[in-house]
Structure formats: structure tokens, C-alpha cells
Amino acid sequence: MKTQYLFILAYFLFIFAGCSSDYDIEEGQFPTTPVNFEDINSEYDDYNSALPYNLYHEVPYLFSSNRNTNGEKFDIVGYTVEFYYNPDLEKVYFYAVESNNFYYNPAIAKINTASNELGPYITYSLDYLYDLLFYATDSSGNLDIYYTYNYVYEKIWKDPLPLNKINTDEHNEAYPAFNKTRDEFYFCSDDNDHFDMYKVNLNNSSIINWFDTEEVPQKIGLDILNSDLDEKCPYINRDLMVFTSNREGGYGGYDLYYSEFIDGAWSNPVNFGETINTEYDEFRPVALYVQNYTNDVMLFSSNRPGGKGGFDLYYVGLPFKLRDVVYLED
């Protein structure tokens, strides 16, 4: 068992050791206009994706889809995603691999119910001892945030539990995320008659210890990011937050925005512009750092025309590299 754990740790250290601020070996570039992730989309709604913070050729990929019930209800679905850059064609290719041995299959089997499961979020503890999976379910009548985790020595996913520190009886709570130092927990809630984004401080507790404490966290509104309309789906990678909003001034429906964490505060939101946003809905963005590429990548969902049906998943290159190139776990 110890040997197996050391192998897993060595694998992550190998990946993390490859991260550097030296870009002399950059070789790839993600497309500057959104590309439909055709290999993974269906004729039904496919959205709300989750990946590790950093892409490394082959990664687990979770998302919400109503394909399993022919459009009736949403489940969490998972694949292994692989990608590569063809320098001759100057093009990135993404494709999905379905496997019975997919790492998250045991967790998915425990998560999916007769209700809707939405917005998965995967992460792990800073000591690499726990893999964690968050999501939202409306099994209580409104959306609540749940979590499950796997202790690497046991290799057994725990039965999902509600995050009662955050959930309320009357309102919807969904789309959890952590900041880069894991001492702030972000989510969105409609307890203000529309969706706003909030955070709570973990007070330097580890994620696992925070679950077990009786402390009731103080919910802090993100005033500089919120508007009079909906702000949803916060996702943070290093010093960048991406989210979706139907605020005024966009291109129609829900648009994607970003904010940078500068000098201890989030900056005013910036719309990603008409190259990425449309008059339709763009939803649940996930920004990822990728080694050896001139730009980083964002995956999101949209119901724009030209897809396979309903919401489809798309990928597009960010117009920048993520500012903080130190790995999240360093």
C-alpha cells in the first residue's frame, strides 16, 4: 500500500516539476476562437465541466449531462480526456476515452441519484492524501452542495455528504470552488432573489478538517464582482477567476467574464468579448494552465447554434498565460 502511494506521489511530483516560468520550450497554441468538443458532446445537454487545475496530455474530465435519461435529468458523467498539438497543421486535438477503470467511476456511482446532479468540481488536499469531488444536487427540492472524498490509503470513495456549513433550506447553493491557497471557499447562491457569488474563509484549516469543525462560517459577498442580475459558476486558477453572468452590457444571455486577484483584491470584471461570447448562453467556464503552450485554455458550455444539440462543451485559448505560474500545490 505504501509503495502504491509513493508511486502516486511520484507521478504528481513529476507533473508539478515540469511547471516553470521559463517558456523557451513553448510549442503549442490553443485556438483563439471556440471549438466544439465534438468527441464528447451528445444531442442532449452537456455542460458544467470539471478538470484538474493543470492539463497534462491526459486528465480526468467530469461534466453534467442529461444524456443518460434522454434529456430528463442530469447526472455526472466522466471520461479521460487526451489532447495533443500537431505542429504541421498548427492545431490542437481533444478527444475522449471511455474506460471501465476510470478513476472517478466509483464516486460517480455514489453521486448520481433520481434527482439532478450539477456542477462537479474536483480537487485534492495539499498533502496529496485526499482526492475530493464536490457537486450540487436538488434532491432536497433546491440545489445543495455535496462532497465526497477518497483517502489514498483506503482507495474508497466516502458516501456523499451535504456541506451543511453552506447549504440553506430555502435557497439554491451551487458551483463550489477554492482559491489557489485553499483558504477560501467560493460558491453562488440565490438568497438575494438572484444569484450572487460568495466566499467563506477556512481560517487556515485544511479542507478535511474544515468539514469536521462546528464553526459556522461567515458568508462574504463579492461586491465588486456581483451585479443586480445573476453571477454564477466561479472558478479560480492561480490569480484568475472566471465566471458567468447575464448582467447588462453583455452580448446576450449569459456571458463569460474574468477577474484578476491583484494586491489582495479581485479586479473589476472584464467581458471576454464577442470572439468567445454570443447572443446565446455561455456557461460554467474552467480556465486551465498548460505547460509548453503559448496560451492557456478555457473550457465552457454554450447553447449557440452549430453544436450537436442543447448545451455543448467548447474549448478556446485564453488571450494570456495565467499570471501566477507557480503550481497551486507548491
pLDDT digits 0-9 by tens, 104-132: 999 999 999 999 999 999 998 888 899 99
Across the range 202-223, mean pLDDT stands at 83
- How many Cα atoms sit within 13 Å of 170 on the Cβ side? 3
Residue 28 lies in a domain: yes
Residue 222 lies in a domain: yes
Residue 244 lies in a domain: yes
Residue 12 lies in a domain: yes
Hunting for cell 505542429 — which residue is that?
Answer: 87
The CATH number assigned to the domain holding 104 equals 2.115.10
Q: How confident is the model at residue 99 (pLDDT cuts 50, 70, 90)?
A: confident
Q: CA–CA separation, 247 vs 14, rounded Å? A: 42
Predicted confidence (pLDDT) at residue 23 exceeds the cutoff of 50: no
pTM, 2 dp = 0.88
Residue 326 lies in a domain: no
Note the pLDDT tens digit of each residue in 223-252: 999 999 999 999 999 999 999 999 999 999
Residue 32 lies in a domain: yes
**Contact between residue 293 and residue 269 where contact means Cβ atoms under 8 Å apart:** no
**Contact between residue 13 and residue 280 where contact means Cβ atoms under 8 Å apart:** no
Vertex 235: Cα angle to 233 and 238 (nearest 5): 165
Domain housing 212:
2-317
Sheet (strand 184-189) strand order:
173-178, 184-189, 196-201, 220-221
What's the structural domain count of the chain? Answer: 1
Residue 45 lies in a domain: yes
Residue 323 lies in a domain: no
